[in-house]
Amino acid sequence: MQIWRNSADIPADLSRTVVTFGVFDGVHRGHHAILRRVVEIAGEREWPAVVLTFDPHPANVHRPGQHVHLIATLEERLNRIEATGVDAVFVQHYTLDYARATAAEFVRKQLAGDLHAGVVVVGEDARFGRGNEGDAALLRQLGGEAGIEVEVICDRCDEDGERWSSTGVRALLEKGDVARAAKILGRPHRIRGTVEHGAARGRTLGFPTANLSGDGLGEVPADGVYAGWLVRKVAGTTATEYLPAAISVGTNPQFDGETRTVEAHVLGRYDLNLYGEEIAIEFVSYLRPMLKLDSVEALLAQMDKDLLATADTLGVPPAGRVEPNKVTAS
């Protein structure tokens, strides 16, 4: 898949294309319905399938004080778009100056002009142009004037009739409801980051962890303990392995911690040295809230239960604490 970041990146011989546009944060099942249709029409017309996406998130440009945490990083978004069969993505650097373009200018200059759109596919909630003045109806009108066919995909909803949306996924993650978020995403929610050194308490207690922190991970769910997977590349190969993990999100109140971190303990493993390695964490199920118990012994007893609950949730063999003197990470 080609990635274009400015008009100069677009091939000079580009003819007609099938285009969709939007942030596509999380690339959830509603997005997939649109992307599948783009690829389908592109195959029928023998035109390239093109996605126009925006970075940073427009809301963070217009309302910087109300920071919207992205469900996934841009890299993750592009990977998931590529998996749908799209030929190219134009990553539009979103600025206030760019946002001043009217709806008509957006269609004429970017869709019909730069991207050579012959067909544009959007969802019912599509908005574009200065002040979000453009909607699906106006797109049909402006597209007709520019020689662009427009197809609008109906909203996709859950069994309760709630529309699948990135905003809805964020709201669920903020509550820790990763299982319901996964139904909208079509997969477990994932964050990604580089493993860093922590306080090393876990290894002395028999629960060595891979620690992630910072703002670049993607949307981190609510504080609590989760069952999930640690995902990593196998060194020296192209293979990916999924390791069952008990995951803690929070500030570690048992030890009066202040920094919010994500800590993943791979069940039964003491031989992993992941420091400096980029990994992903997938959240499958919320197990319990973050607690401050009466003693370290009570905490260990609770963590033993967490390991059993994690194994049961993931359908893997149970594993207890590891022997601290066997931990090889350094």
> Would residue 170 count as lying in a domain?
no
pLDDT at 163 over 90: no
> Would residue 107 count as lying in a domain?
yes
Same domain, 137 and 237: no
**Residue 1, Cβ neighbours under 10 Å: how many?**
15
pLDDT at 146 over 70: yes
Q: For the segment 217-226, what is each residue's pLDDT rounded down to a tens digit?
A: 889 999 999 9
Q: For the segment 106-132, what is each residue's pLDDT rounded down to a tens digit?
A: 999 999 999 999 999 999 999 999 999
Q: Give residue for tokens 């990470």.
A: 329
Same domain, 141 and 237: no
Q: Which of 185, 165, 166, 199 is nearest to 284 (CA)?
A: 185
Q: How large is the average pLDDT for residues 296-308?
A: 91
Q: How many domains does the chain have?
A: 2
Same domain, 197 and 147: no
Ramachandran angles phi, psi of 321, nearest 5°: -65, 155
Same domain, 271 and 199: yes
> Would residue 51 count as lying in a domain?
yes
Same domain, 296 and 201: yes
pLDDT at site 254: 66
How sure is the predictor about 330, in pLDDT bands with cuts at 50, 70 and 90? low
Question: The pTM is what?
Answer: 0.87
pLDDT at site 327: 73
Same domain, 44 and 107: yes
Same domain, 216 and 130: no
> Would residue 91 count as lying in a domain?
yes
pLDDT at 195 over 80: yes
pLDDT at 203 over 70: no
Q: For the segment 237-279, what is each residue's pLDDT rounded down to a tens digit?
A: 889 999 999 999 998 776 666 788 999 999 988 888 888 999 9
- Percent of the chain having pLDDT more than 70? 96
Last residue within a domain, chosen from 128, 153, 178: 153
**Residue 209 or residue 311, greater confidence:** 311
Highest mean pLDDT among 1-10, 66-75, 267-276, 289-298: 1-10
> Would residue 286 count as lying in a domain?
yes
Provide the sign of the torsion angle of the four alpha carbons 15, 21, 24, 29, taken in this order.
negative
pLDDT at 73 over 90: no
Same domain, 71 and 134: yes
Last residue within a domain, chosen from 127, 153, 179: 153
Q: For the domain that residue 54 is a member of, what is the CATH number? A: 3.40.50.620
Q: How large is the average pLDDT for residues 38-42?
A: 98
Structural domain boundaries, residue 15: 2-153
Q: For the domain that residue 234 is a member of, what is the CATH number? A: 2.40.30.30
- Percent of the chain having pLDDT more than 90? 73
Bond from prior residue into 56 cis (ω within 30 degrees of 0):
yes
Q: Lowest-pLDDT range, 24-28, 66-70, 133-137, 309-313?
A: 66-70
Last residue within a domain, chosen from 93, 128, 153: 153
> Would residue 81 count as lying in a domain?
yes
> Would residue 166 count as lying in a domain?
no
> Would residue 175 count as lying in a domain?
no
Same domain, 119 and 242: no
Q: Give residue for tokens 């099942």.
A: 29
Same domain, 122 and 53: yes
Same domain, 313 and 197: yes
**Residue 274 or residue 47, greater confidence:** 47
How sure is the predictor about 67, in pLDDT bands with cuts at 50, 70 and 90? confident
Average pLDDT of the chain, as a whole number = 91
Same domain, 130 and 209: no
